[in-house]
Amino acid sequence: MTNVSVVPIVDTSASMTGSGYVAQTVIDTRAFLRLLKPGDKVAVVAYDTNARNVYPNNNSLATVDQALTVTKNASDAVGGLSFNGNSTAIGRGLQQSRNFLDAAGEPRACILLTDGYQNDGPPPLDVLPGYRVMACAMGANSDQQLLKQIASRTGGQFFYAPRAADMMKVYNQIRSDTASAALLVNELNDIQQNDYRLIPAVVSQRPGGAQMSAVWSNTEISYTRGSPSGNQLSVTLVDPSGSTSALNPTIIGDGFVIYNVDNPAPGQWYVQLEFAGGGQLINCTGGALQYFSQSLRSAASLELSIDLPTLHSVGQPLPLNIHLDAGGEILSNVRAHAIVQRPTISLADALVKYDAQLGSVQPDPADLARGVPSANARLAALRQRLLPEQDILAHQQGVVHLKTANNLPLTTLIDTPVAGSYNVQVVVTGEGSLSGPFQRSHLVSVLVNDVRS
């Protein structure tokens, strides 16, 4: 396992409340912090008009201890955040993170979250750090162009979360990338009342550890191991023997549970979910990562990587290249598919389509204050008015199956009929001569521009 230094930078402007991102952002950020392992180093920064340390109070990274007290304290600090800032000073958030990370060793990264536009403080591109920024644009009214530039110029990655519920998938991918862990599964489910899910995770024959988690969208839903009732979600693991595992979660939080499993038995595991519900629907992300022992750092670890441009022109086929570094292993029965999430309409086309209705819509003053163009702010207000019956900026999801092949890379083309940010999640399964059955998942985002090249 590779120890990392990481700093989430959380947007606490009032618009986060108006856009409905607060509750899920808090749950997912707390869950991400609890995924950190002993030896990792961590701090948390928040920003709106100004930037400030959330945890710790000084400018020194906290090292995660064996008892995971540091991750609990950081998580608790995030739980106490208020989201009422008057502006969005992204540059100040980046500067504050540098107090922690400029002197840190590699690997190091910060995770920049925002649902808006820079409208206060120094321009972010003028204060970029010398380490990776994982920049996540939250929702249609985020400045995706700016965040894409921030990620590209720092060697980081750009991510897009069209719904609040998509954030944990982003966090799982970032955890995998920064810790050099294998991301086995990263699956978001909408679970109805009295519904049931099995989320598969294939653990390879490699010494080390695994981390399996379930993160859901409502802190009023409590965890149980037994049969759920009322507002309860049952979360258990099924081991490769097909039996419900006796393991209990290592960490139980408000809206999440995490299992840290030492030397897991190789084979097919499942995260088993059963929701009682009390008449509601929840979003639940099941994730699984596998960490390999230091003695196998040079051995085959089946590393999945994706070549996908971070910027693309609308209407042009988007090339997707999938690589699986087998480290000399002989692979067989390799299968791959890509889950593509894209907007159903571009912002420009939506402004035209709903022009007649927008004239009577008052924009949210918080959107205007944080730099959202007036027309876009009116569109956001109209969308909020029509939800949940109608989402005028909805996204759709489709699956692209790739031909079975044992010698990657695999290549395919993705249609881009609409401008906006696309999410592409690749899932690869197969068998390795040393690893046995394996499973890998990887999430990338690409910004498709309105202007054709």
Considering the domain architecture, whether residues 9 and 132 belong to the same structural domain is answered as yes
- Distance between CA atoms of 48 and 397, rounded to whole angstroms? 33
Q: At what angle do helices 167-179 and 22-35 cross, to 10 degrees?
A: 20
Q: How many Cβ atoms are within 10 Å of 230's Cβ, its own excluded?
A: 10
Considering the domain architecture, whether residues 288 and 354 belong to the same structural domain is answered as no
Considering the domain architecture, whether residues 24 and 169 belong to the same structural domain is answered as yes
CATH number of the CATH domain containing 74: 3.40.50.410
Residue 298 exposed, middle or buried by CB count within 10 Å (0-12, 13-18, 19+): exposed
Considering the domain architecture, whether residues 331 and 381 belong to the same structural domain is answered as no
In this prediction, residue 141 carries a pLDDT of 86
Q: How many Cβ atoms are within 10 Å of 72's Cβ, its own excluded?
A: 16
Considering the domain architecture, whether residues 284 and 380 belong to the same structural domain is answered as no
Q: For residue 43, what are its two tokens? A: 């701090």
How many Å separate Cα 331 from the centre of its chain?
Answer: 29
Residue 429 exposed, middle or buried by CB count within 10 Å (0-12, 13-18, 19+): middle
- Hey, what long-range contacts does 252-255 have (CB within 8 A, 24 or more apart)? 252/223, 253/30, 253/31, 253/34, 253/75, 254/27, 254/30, 254/79, 254/219, 255/27, 255/30, 255/31, 255/215, 255/216, 255/217, 255/218, 255/219, 255/221
CATH number of the CATH domain containing 268: 2.60.120.380
Residue 106 structural domain: 5-178
What's the whole-model pTM score? 0.95
What are the beta bridge partners of residue 137?
114, 160
Counting Cα atoms < 13 Å in the Cβ hemisphere of 299 gives 15
Per the structure, the count of domains in the chain is 4
In this prediction, residue 452 carries a pLDDT of 43
Considering the domain architecture, whether residues 125 and 48 belong to the same structural domain is answered as yes
| Torsion sign, CA atoms 372, 128, 113, 184 | positive
Strand runs (DSSP E) across 83-218, as ranges? 108-114, 132-138, 157-161, 182-191, 195-203, 208-216
**Residue 290: its H or E element:** strand 282-292
- Distance between CA atoms of 2 and 441, rounded to whole angstroms? 19
Considering the domain architecture, whether residues 108 and 23 belong to the same structural domain is answered as yes
- Distance between CA atoms of 336 and 228, rounded to whole angstroms? 35
- Distance between CA atoms of 43 and 331, rounded to whole angstroms? 40
Considering the domain architecture, whether residues 108 and 18 belong to the same structural domain is answered as yes
CATH number of the CATH domain containing 326: 2.60.40.1930
Considering the domain architecture, whether residues 431 and 310 belong to the same structural domain is answered as yes
- Mean pLDDT per 10-residue section of the chain, whose length is 453 residues: 92 88 97 97 97 96 98 98 93 98 96 93 97 96 94 96 95 94 96 95 89 96 96 97 97 98 95 89 96 60 84 92 86 92 95 94 82 87 89 94 70 93 95 90 94 47
Whether the Cβ atoms of residue 100 and residue 43 lie closer than 8 Å to each other: yes
Whether the Cβ atoms of residue 327 and residue 300 lie closer than 8 Å to each other: yes
State the DSSP code for 194: T
In this prediction, residue 324 carries a pLDDT of 86
In this prediction, residue 95 carries a pLDDT of 98
In this prediction, residue 369 carries a pLDDT of 73
Considering the domain architecture, whether residues 31 and 134 belong to the same structural domain is answered as yes
In this prediction, residue 297 carries a pLDDT of 47
Position of tokens 């022992």?
Answer: 293
